[in-house]
Amino acid sequence: MPLPDPTDSEAYYLKGIRERNPKVLRQMYQAFFPALRKHVRANGGSKEDAEDVFQDTIVVIFRKLESPEFSLRSSFGTYVFAIGKRVWLHKISRRSKRPQTSLEDAAILQSESPDLQVERTEKYRFFREKLKQLGEGCQHVLKLFFAGESMADIAKKMGFASEGYAKKRKFHCKQQLTKLVKADPRFRELTGTTNPSAYG
């Protein structure tokens, strides 16, 4: 199904995000990243911080689009910038371990706050990073498992001899992932716990 006309920018960008269209995401980066980078740099961040904020902003918007109640009540560029500001506020607040809220940001946070979505995004990125450190076989097994596939289906898709062997592989791979997660000092900061089961 073709994308909407680019002149209808809101529909164009929203559909591009829904479909994870790389061309549209590049266009978004070119159009909206400079303003967000300027804001992050003006508030103590680096270009790398701004890159992370922009990526998290896209993920937050993608998750919001999954809700049937989603509606855009401003221009798309304004919406991206507002979400990006909240993402950055959340990050610097976590870094300082105390609230850093201007009057403007306080007003933003009183509206529909995506802080919980931002936190989930950070956990997801951390989890995905650790998953990629496993071998390809374990990555595939765990991705199927976390996607809700049955052990029988995993055995079939992976070409294992039996469902029992699939269970053993899943257990072994999950142990490896748990060790990687627990060994990273960021885990406690992100979850406030030492129990990696928080990641499923």
59-63, 98-102, 113-117, 192-196: which is most confident: 59-63
Calpha distance 199→49 (Å, rounded): 24
Does the pTM of the predicted model rise above 0.85?
no
Q: What is the pLDDT of residue 107?
A: 39
- Residue 105: is its pLDDT beyond 50? no
Q: What is the mean pLDDT of residues 100-119?
A: 42
Question: What is the SS3 assignment for 98?
Answer: coil
The dihedral over CA atoms of 14, 15, 16, 18, expressed in degrees to the nearest 10, equals 90
Lowest model confidence (mean pLDDT) among 43-47, 100-104, 152-156: 100-104
Q: Is the pLDDT of residue 112 over 90?
A: no
- With beta carbons less than 8 A apart as the criterion, state whether 56 and 121 touch: yes
User: Phi-psi category of 22—alpha, beta or left, where left has phi over 0 and alpha has psi -120 to 50?
Assistant: alpha
Tell me the torsion sign for CA atoms 128, 130, 135, 141. Answer: negative
